Amino acid sequence: RQNKPILKPHSYLQALVTEFQVTDSTEAKEQVLANLANFAYDPSNYEYLRQLQVLDLFLDMLTEDNETLVEFAMGKGCPEHPPLSPGQGHRGQML
């Protein structure tokens, strides 16, 4: 069995963003956006998310017709984590 290399947070997040951008599968987009949303709950990831423009991606998803994408972008799709307070998000915006 071949072991996968362990990716650093920035590399892993970049891989998720790339997957989101190139996939045509709605289900894959939902899964990737859910993963990105989970990373957004950890303040240690904020700089990586900002650099990769993930916060802008979340904002873009708010206008999608797909309710699941909208909910993940708003952070409602991750019930195991409480929502961030306004001061914790990107430029004071919610995640």
Neighbours of 48 (CB within 10 A): 18
**Euclidean distance between the first and final Cα of the chain, in Å?**
38
Structure tokens at 61: 């998803």
Indicate the average pLDDT of the chain: 81
Confidence band for 10, pLDDT divided at 50, 70 and 90: confident
Structure tokens at 93: 């915006």
Query: pLDDT tens digit string along 47-63?
Result: 999 999 999 999 999 99
Measure Cα distances from 46 to 24, 31, 59, 94 in Å. Answer: 27, 20, 15, 13
Q: Please, is 38 exposed, middle or buried when counting C-beta atoms within 10 Å of its C-beta (0-12, 13-18, 19+)?
A: middle
